[in-house]
Amino acid sequence: MSHALRPTRRHFMITTAASALLTSATRALAADPIKTAGIYTVPVEQQWVSRIHIAALAAQDRGDIAYTYSENVSNTDYARVIREYAEAGNTLIIGEVFGAEQEAREVAADYPDVAFLMGSSFKEDPALPNFAVFDNYIQDAAYLSGIIAGAMTETNNIGMVGGFPIPEVNRLMHAFMAGAQEMNPDIAFQVSFIGSWFDPPKAKETAFAMIENGADILYAERFGVSDAAKEQGILAIGNVIDTQPEYPDTVVASAIWHFEPTLDKAIAEVQAGTFTAADYGIYSFMNQGGTSLAPLGTFEGKVPAEAMALVEQRTAEIMSGAFTVTINDEEPTSS
């Protein structure tokens, strides 16, 4: 007499459920990459956009997205390019709409099934649920780089060259200035904006004028500034990207932006079908992995120990929430 067990109803249900879960997991793993487009008004090697581009390439390498992009798109042409990418079947569109805000939002309203993740000086609008905003809130690392600059200046005169006085630039400059003055309250700042996101010759010319006026450290918010510092034999502080390898005797420290947490959050929401209007700015904070102080490289051991101790203290406090860097979006001025 056979003693083989017959399948029971309970056994059947458990086996079926397990099979369904396995099938679901297999489908998730085999899901097609999200068709994603990037739209940029500057070259992808420009500091700010390069961080978005690098994160998108990494997501593509993982298989999460299928990525294409357009660079050097004028503000007047931005809405047309958005529409073309939406019509082409992209379900996630990333970019920066600082100069085409209204037009971009109007196009997004025509494509409610497309997720838009856009750099913006404005906030999300619940009436436009598929349009999320972000900005590089890397004031935490900018503050730390300011501490280092405050310890390294000998003339107590720091020059700061920015693109435009918009919130994303202003807040980083203010954070840098606050960090420098915590270390050295006697510092004065020269502040100037060149009216362009990518004009290295103009940024360099502006930096030269600051050096002539006594600056011995430059805050390089734009390309071209570190070149001026290098030629004149003074120091510079980088922003958004790490240029220490290119300027080993010039760039002491840099506040680095990591766009990966921002983009990865959006990808997860699109995959889950839960993408909605939100402010993704928080994912640029240091405690979210969105910013860090770059390695000092050739300047390791050359920054005063007192400054590095303060950097270490403030970093721990920022990560724990015990210290908060003030976000000041007002236009900074010379002092």
**How does pLDDT run across 128-143, given as a tens digit for each residue?**
999 999 998 999 999 9
How many Cβ atoms are within 10 Å of 284's Cβ, its own excluded?
A: 25
pLDDT at 2: 36
Q: How many CA atoms lie within 13 A of 270 on its CB side?
A: 28
pLDDT at 13: 40
Query: How far is residue 78's CA from residue 71's CA, in Å, rounded to a whole number?
Result: 10
φ/ψ (deg, to 5) at 227: -65, -40
| Integer CA distances (angstroms), 262 to 40, 55, 59, 120, 128, in order | 17, 9, 12, 14, 19
Helices and strands (H and E) in the chain: how many: 10, 11
Terminal Cα distance for the chain, rounded = 98
pTM of the model: 0.84
pLDDT at 198: 82
Residue range 9-64, pLDDT digits in tens: 344 344 444 444 444 443 344 479 999 999 999 999 888 899 999 999 999 999 99
CA angle 116, 133, 198 (to 5 degrees): 95
Question: Which are the contacts of 217, defined by CB distance < 8 A and separation ≥ 6?
Answer: 149, 152, 153, 158, 159, 229, 234, 235, 236, 237, 252
Positions of the chain with pLDDT lower than 70, given as ranges: 1-30
On whether the CB atoms of residues 223 and 47 are closer than 8 A, the answer is yes
pLDDT at 46: 83
pLDDT at 29: 46
Assign 3-state DSSP to the chain and report helix, strand, coil percentages, each to 5: 45, 20, 35
